[in-house]
Amino acid sequence: MAATFVHSTLIPVDGARTLPQAYFTSPEIYAGEVAKIFHSRWLCAGRAAEIPEPGDYVVRQLGNAAVILLRDKTGRIRGFHNTCRHRGTRLCEASIGNVGDRIVCPYHSWVYALDGRLIGAPSTADIEGFDKSDYPLHAVPTAEWEGFVFYHIGANPQPFAEAFAPLMGRFSRFNMPALVSASRIEYDVQCNWKLLFQNYSECYHCSPVHPALVKLTPATSGENDLYDGPFLGGYMVINDDAGSMTMTGRACGLPVGEHLTDADERRVYYYSIFPNMLLSLHPDYVMFHTMWPDGPARTRITCEWLFNAATLQDKTFDPLDGVRFWDMTNRQDWHICEESYRGIVSPAYTPGPYSPRESLSAAFDREVLRALGR
């Protein structure tokens, strides 16, 4: 997909200021975000490869909604609320596993097929009018895109292909469905989820916070091609004397796709995918984050690194060179976001002006406010 890139300083911020304190601290506003954003948009659950075999499942929870994502006997990925139709008991206690060929409630042994049908319900024969077909698991729509799984728990969700139209085909040259995971790290960050998106969307902070990063890519380099709406981002330029974003500055893997352009070989693309995914595309690996807010002041984050499968068989490369670099950089980001949160909760905090270098952060705020109807 052709893209028109614009330097961030040319994207108007129109006098935008940071959000008022309540948007980071208020339980009421957070509850509105859960209802109007996270329970009303397509959420990234991670990689389809995480559940490769029939019966494999993961559980994803945000707010009070826990969803089972599993692969059925036909290979299709299905989603169900993690709630038995009898008395509501959680069906899957572990966050990942394999249920075999059926899901069994641990409380009263109601049994469900992998397509959600109730196929066994002990001691119900004498219940007048009882029909197992009336009690399937509550299904959740799912979708797959570029090897990632998404789900939506809201009523009447916008069709995935329509919601994600701006991204369809945009990254196909990076061959993401065929990439394999080399590492995954879980983080528990004590700050509001929006601070993490705002931080990811700008490199105004890079020089003071990320000295190793700015040696590999200039903080003022690059341009953006998506700068309004739920999907935001663009690219930054890798220095001529560096091969990728790694501790050594050398490429840590083979090219992720066969059709990367010469420009792609010198860029890192960064995109925020509202409301819970960050996607970072390097010439030799792809990194993605999924964000899972847990109240106004806590966010659980999963970060995963994907490589060309041949890289993991080639001893001349060290994938952990890239993993270590971004684990270091992630922790720098998480720390400064936590410090930001500690300052925002102060009675002295008032909204400050965004600079032109923070145009995507201002655009992210606009999308939050639109979603909240404000």
Cα–Cα distance, 152 to 154 (Å, whole number): 6
DSSP 269: E
Q: Is the pTM of this model over 0.75?
A: yes
Tens digit of each residue's pLDDT (9 = 90 or more) over 157-178: 999 999 999 999 999 999 999 9
pLDDT at site 12: 87
Residue from 313, 291, 316 nearest 301 by CA = 291
Q: What domains lie within the chain, and their CATH numbers? A: 8-40+172-371 (3.90.380.10), 43-161 (2.102.10.10)
Pairing assessment for the beta strands 77-81 and 286-293 based on DSSP bridges? unpaired
Tens digit of each residue's pLDDT (9 = 90 or more) over 116-172: 999 999 999 999 999 999 999 999 999 999 999 999 999 999 999 999 999 999 999
Dihedral of CA atoms 11, 14, 18, 22 in degrees, nearest 10, equals -130
Cα–Cα distance, 237 to 253 (Å, whole number): 18
Q: Tokens 């090219």 sit at which residue? A: 255
Tens digit of each residue's pLDDT (9 = 90 or more) over 1-38: 568 899 888 888 999 999 999 999 999 999 999 999 99
Mean pLDDT of the chain: 97
Share of the chain above pLDDT 70, in %: 99
Residues forming beta bridges with residue 150, ordered by sequence position: 44, 143
Q: Are 332 and 205 in contact (CB under 8 A)?
A: no
Secondary structure (3-state) at 236: strand
Q: Are 344 and 25 in contact (CB under 8 A)?
A: yes
pLDDT at site 1: 54
Tens digit of each residue's pLDDT (9 = 90 or more) over 231-269: 999 999 999 999 999 999 999 999 999 999 999 999 999
Pairing assessment for the beta strands 286-293 and 65-71 based on DSSP bridges? unpaired
pLDDT at site 9: 83
pLDDT at site 192: 98
Mean pLDDT along residues 355-374: 96
